[in-house]
């Protein structure tokens, strides 16, 4: 994931960095630890930190029965974002730090940051946020990342195409277009199951009725429970010149795959910008017998059935490998596989090379393994 967030340090960072360097110096570290200073600061003021962006929840808004928006006020270490980017949200669940990437549904200049999260059945972090994150609470945020953003020079005709919770970064793009007063032709096409599942429904209906800042905006809502399953043929009906419009796409895997295939089949020349929330692959076949995975650095071991990624299986065994996107983009879960065979879930390829770098979130065990974890 490329980071397009503001790259200049904030003035708070300019003050914090030398302090952090000083506190990490072995002579100082022997007397006072950085972690102790951080604990004291957070005790006095929960958003205070020398090292991480911490954000206070200002408001919580229900969008649909299973989707909620949190408005967040970040501390002075926040470097800003571009509409369409996402952040890693870190919080604590049962005493353990957990994190997931979430798109910012707000555009820069909208006021507080916003994340909009849909509960996933059985999902660890989405349900934890819904169940526990209240006004006044504090979460930690990573820097804004991602290249699902608008160009400096806007195309005169464009399409924003989303389904389900995929509307979140796309809504940020629409809000940014409104902020920039774009007078080109904008088709906002969104697919939801029922009217009750429409996220940002009030705002969309108001924009569809009248938006002087976006004179060329046309909103096309497809409610599949009443209209039937959406197919890319519906795009052609709503936006006849779709093939010539730069398009920003986000939604469930099947939806994104169908649109991508449609683009390829019709040889559409206009760029198709994609943001995925979920992996593009199907879960791997379980092995006949579980295999043993040695996490060499921590001295721990776990059994893997091979039926999901090594990241997920390591977490289920109580390990906490570093990670970010969990879908093979950011490389933060990369580690050395010392020995054994893994399958790359993106390509299906098997690899038995010793001492190779693998990404845990897109690799499944196919034999006993030793990992540099
Ligand atoms: C770049 C990026 C931006 C994202 N932005 C948003 C956002 O704005 N709003 C949002 O609600 N989610 C967003 N997600 C998804 C989010 O990161 C989590 O994956 C999601 O909240 C589920 O996490 P969990 O811990 O609840 O579920 P987990 O315990 O991690 O997983 C539960 C199961 O749900 C599946 N799953 C995960 N996400 C989805 C999904 N979206 N639809 C269907 N099944 C899913 C997993 O594959 C797994 O099988 C984004 C993901 C990425 C990579
Ligand atoms: S967590 Fe991002 S590549 Fe694995």
- Nearest-atom number in ligand 2 for the CA of 360 is 4
Closest CA to 5 of 180, 116, 147: 147
Quote the pLDDT of residue 110.
85
Quote the pLDDT of residue 22.
80
Closest CA to 85 of 156, 168, 164: 168
Residue nearest ligand 1's atom 21 by CA: 126
Quote the pLDDT of residue 7.
60
CB of residue 33 inside a 6 A radius of ligand 2: no
CB of residue 72 inside a 6 A radius of ligand 2: no
Span 71-97, mean pLDDT?
95
Model confidence pLDDT, tens digit, residues 177-190: 999 999 999 999 99
Cα of 85 to ligand 2 centre, how many Å?
A: 16
pTM above 0.95, yes or no: no
Model confidence pLDDT, tens digit, residues 215-228: 999 999 999 999 99
Fold of 157-275: Rossmann fold (3.40.50)
Confidence of residue 238 (pLDDT cuts 50, 70, 90): very high
- Nearest-atom number in ligand 1 for the CA of 252 is 42
H-assigned helices in 25-78: 26-29, 34-44
- Nearest-atom number in ligand 1 for the CA of 279 is 47
Confidence of residue 20 (pLDDT cuts 50, 70, 90): confident
Quote the pLDDT of residue 5.
47
- Cα separation, 355 vs 292, whole angstroms: 17
Candidates 2.102.10.10, 2.40.30.10, 3.40.50.1820, 2.10.210.10; CATH matching 11-141: 2.40.30.10
Confidence of residue 283 (pLDDT cuts 50, 70, 90): confident
Confidence of residue 29 (pLDDT cuts 50, 70, 90): confident
- Cα separation, 342 vs 293, whole angstroms: 11
- Cα separation, 104 vs 87, whole angstroms: 7
Q: Which bound ligand lies closest to the C-alpha atom of 345?
A: 2
Residue nearest ligand 1's atom 53 by CA: 277
Domain boundaries, given as residue ranges, for the chain: 11-141, 157-275, 291-371
Quote the pLDDT of residue 33.
84
- Name residues contacting ligand 1 (CB within 6 A): 86, 100-103, 116-118, 120, 122-127, 165, 168, 252, 277-278, 325, 327
Residue 76 burial (C-beta neighbours within 10 Å; 0-12, 13-18, 19+): middle
Closest CA to 74 of 36, 35, 115, 34: 115
Cα of 115 to ligand 1 centre, how many Å?
A: 13
Mutation choice for ligand 2 from 88, 324, 344, 358, CB with most ligand atoms inside 8 A: 324
Of the two residues 110 and 139, the one the predictor is more confident about is 139
Which residue bears the tokens 């991480």? 52
Q: Do domains 11-141 and 157-275 have the same CATH topology?
A: no
* Token code pair at residue 121: 């059945």
Confidence of residue 145 (pLDDT cuts 50, 70, 90): very high
- Nearest-atom number in ligand 1 for the CA of 169 is 8
Quote the pLDDT of residue 86.
97
Averaged pLDDT of the chain: 93
Residues in the chain: 373
Instruction: Report whether pLDDT(1) > 70.
Output: no
Instruction: Give, for 249, the enclosing helix (H) or strand (E).
Output: strand 246-250
Closest CA to 186 of 255, 233, 239, 148: 239
Torsion angles phi and psi, residue 88, rounded to 5: -85, 125
Span 74-103, mean pLDDT?
95
Instruction: Report whether pLDDT(210) > 80.
Output: yes
CATH no., domain 291-371: 3.10.20.30
- Cα separation, 269 vs 241, whole angstroms: 12
Span 198-208, mean pLDDT?
96
């Amino acid at each position: 994931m490329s980071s397009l967030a503001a790259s200049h340090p904030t003035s708070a960072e300019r003050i914090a960095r030398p302090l952090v360097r000083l506190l990490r110096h072995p002579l100082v570290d022997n007397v006072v630890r950085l972690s102790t200073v951080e604990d004291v600061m957070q005790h006095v003021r929960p958003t205070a930190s020398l090292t991480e962006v911490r954000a206070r929840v200002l408001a919580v808004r229900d969008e649909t029965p299973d989707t909620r928006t949190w408005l967040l006020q970040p501390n002075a270490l926040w470097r800003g974002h571009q509409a369409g980017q996402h952040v890693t949200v870190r919080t604590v669940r049962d005493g353990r730090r957990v994190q997931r990437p979430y798109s910012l549904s707000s555009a820069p200049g909208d006021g507080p940051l916003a994340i909009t999260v849909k509960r996933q059945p059985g999902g660890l972090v989405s349900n934890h946020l819904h169940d526990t994150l209240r006004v006044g609470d504090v979460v930690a945020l990573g820097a804004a990342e991602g290249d699902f953003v608008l160009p400096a020079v806007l195309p005169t005709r464009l399409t924003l195409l989303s389904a389900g919770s995929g509307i979140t970064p796309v809504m940020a793009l629409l809000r940014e277009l409104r902020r920039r007063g774009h007078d080109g032709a904008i088709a906002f096409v969104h697919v939801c199951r029922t009217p009750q599942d429409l996220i940002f429904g009030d705002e969309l209906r108001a924009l569809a009725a009248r938006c002087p800042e976006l004179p060329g905006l046309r909103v096309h809502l497809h409610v599949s429970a009443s209209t039937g399953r959406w197919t890319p043929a519906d795009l052609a009906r709503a936006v006849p010149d779709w093939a010539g419009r730069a398009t920003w796409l986000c939604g469930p895997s099947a939806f994104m795959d169908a649109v991508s295939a449609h683009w390829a089949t019709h040889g559409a020349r206009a760029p198709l910008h994609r943001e995925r929330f979920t992996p593009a692959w199907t879960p791997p076949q379980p092995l006949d017998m579980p295999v043993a995975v040695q996490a060499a650095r921590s001295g721990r071991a776990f059994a893997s059935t091979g039926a999901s990624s090594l990241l997920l299986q390591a977490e289920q065994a109580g390990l906490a490998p570093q990670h970010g996107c969990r879908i093979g983009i950011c490389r933060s879960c990369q580690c050395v596989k010392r020995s054994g065979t893994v399958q790359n879930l993106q390509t299906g390829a098997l690899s038995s090379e010793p001492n190779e770098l693998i990404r845990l979130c897109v690799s499944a065990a196919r034999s006993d393994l030793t990992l540099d974890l």
